[in-house]
């Protein structure tokens, strides 16, 4: 772990970050050789951060051993060139603590911890869950809000309480609620790094004061996503809007069915990754595949 990994200065997390897929062989084993190539592609394209073992990485169907290997492999491959924010979420607090400690032990720079899914904790339960994980390591920790998958969400008031912990430094917000960045900024009494988790609304999120995006589409077109964020940061707003407009058909296609089915199919069409998924996820339906192909052609990525 680099020295700055323990810093709570989160200005390092800006621009286009990628929630990485976990490539697999046809028999379901993780393909670490392909994973390394995908990581190199991300870094070369200007991606500023990598998130292994998240939802896009099929974390629900990774064994504990596989989860650990995926995080360690990403840290090793990135080798300090970009930040690695390790997925460390679970609906079991004790499991999440173990994931967080492992991520720290292998040199991850920060943690991404999702709202517990299925067991529907109260706001007090959420508070204690995240505080327990934040106490477990010195790593900066991001709160991942995605009510479409977790049902419950962290209220702004609870986020303000959590923000009092020095290790809780930001959020990945997949609510697509554009009033949220302002509300969080006003409520949390310190600099708080806000990253969008919704590819469609990222420019609106940035306009509301957000810092970047942890995206899915950037698996497919990392250079375009990085260019859009760079244009925004440089004040070339019309250029950023033009890139986002160009990307919108691909954004639409990526979420026609449950992630990461569409993104793995897209990567397979580009010859970058096998489309293999683990049950209960299955390959996208024919209509979705056609939409993905059409979107890739609109970006001149397919003949």
| 172 part of the active site | yes
Query: For every one of its 303 residues, what pLDDT tens digit does the chain have, with 9 covering 90 and above?
Result: 333 333 345 557 999 999 999 999 999 999 999 999 999 999 999 999 999 999 999 999 999 999 999 999 999 999 999 999 999 999 999 999 999 999 999 999 999 999 999 999 999 999 999 999 999 999 999 999 999 999 999 999 999 999 999 999 999 999 999 999 999 999 999 999 999 999 999 999 999 999 999 999 999 999 999 999 999 999 999 999 999 999 999 999 999 999 999 999 999 999 999 999 999 999 999 999 999 999 999 999 998
Asked whether residue 292 is marked as a ligand-binding residue, the answer is: no
Asked whether residue 56 is marked as a ligand-binding residue, the answer is: yes
In sequence order, the 6+-apart residues with CB closer than 8 A to the CB of 177 are: none
> End-to-end alpha-carbon separation of the chain, Å?
43
Given a contact cutoff of 8 angstroms between Cβ atoms, the answer to whether 112 and 142 are in contact is yes
Instruction: Please pick, among 13, 117, 172, 265, the residue that the annotation labels catalytic.
Output: 172
Q: Which two tokens stand for residue 181?
A: 């960045």
Please, what CATH class does the domain formed by 3-236 belong to?
A: alpha beta
Q: Tell which phi-psi region holds residue 278, choosing left (phi > 0), alpha (psi between -120 and 50) or beta.
A: beta
Q: How far apart are CA 172 and CA 113, in angstroms?
A: 9
DSSP code, position 185: H
Buried b (16+ CB within 10 A) or exposed e, 77-98: bbeeebbbbbbbbbbebeebbb
- Cα 74 from chain centroid? 14
Q: What is the pTM of this model?
A: 0.95
Instruction: Please pick, among 13, 117, 127, 144, the residue that the annotation labels catalytic.
Output: 144
Q: How far apart are CA 62 and CA 54, in angstroms?
A: 10
**3-state DSSP of 221-289:** CHHHHHHHHHHHHCCCHHHHHHHHHHHHHHHHHHCCCCCCHHHHHHHHHCCCCCCCCCCCCCCCCHHHH
């Amino acid at each position: 772990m680099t020295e700055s990994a323990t810093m709570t200065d989160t200005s390092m997390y800006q621009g286009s970050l990628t929630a990485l897929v976990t490539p697999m062989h046809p028999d379901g084993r993780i393909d670490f050789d392909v994973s390394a190539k995908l990581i190199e592609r991300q870094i070369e394209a200007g991606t500023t951060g990598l998130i292994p073992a998240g939802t896009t990485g099929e974390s629900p169907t990774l064994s504990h051993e596989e989860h650990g290997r995926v995080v360690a492999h990403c840290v090793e491959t990135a080798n300090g060139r970009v930040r690695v924010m390790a997925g460390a979420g679970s609906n079991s607090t004790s499991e999440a603590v173990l994931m967080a400690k492992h991520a720290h032990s292998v040199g991850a720079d920060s943690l991404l911890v999702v709202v517990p899914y299925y067991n529907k904790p109260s706001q007090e339960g959420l508070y204690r869950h995240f505080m327990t994980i934040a106490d477990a390591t010195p790593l900066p920790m991001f709160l991942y809000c995605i009510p479409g998958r977790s049902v419950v969400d962290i209220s702004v008031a609870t986020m303000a309480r959590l923000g009092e912990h020095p290790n809780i430094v930001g959020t990945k917000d997949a609510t697509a609620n554009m009033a949220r960045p302002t509300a969080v900024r006003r409520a949390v009494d310190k600099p708080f790094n806000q990253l969008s988790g919704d590819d469609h609304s990222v420019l609106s999120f940035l306009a509301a004061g957000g810092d970047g995006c942890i995206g899915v589409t950037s698996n497919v077109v990392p250079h375009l996503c990085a260019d859009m964020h760079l244009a925004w940061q440089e004040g070339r707003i019309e250029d950023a809007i033009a890139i986002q407009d160009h990307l919108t058909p691909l954004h639409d296609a990526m979420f026609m069915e449950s992630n990461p089915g569409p993104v793995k199919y897209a990567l397979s069409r580009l010859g970058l990754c096998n489309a293999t998924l683990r049950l209960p996820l299955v390959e996208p339906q024919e209509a979705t595949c056609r939409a993905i192909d059409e979107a890739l052609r609109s970006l001149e990525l397919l003949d």
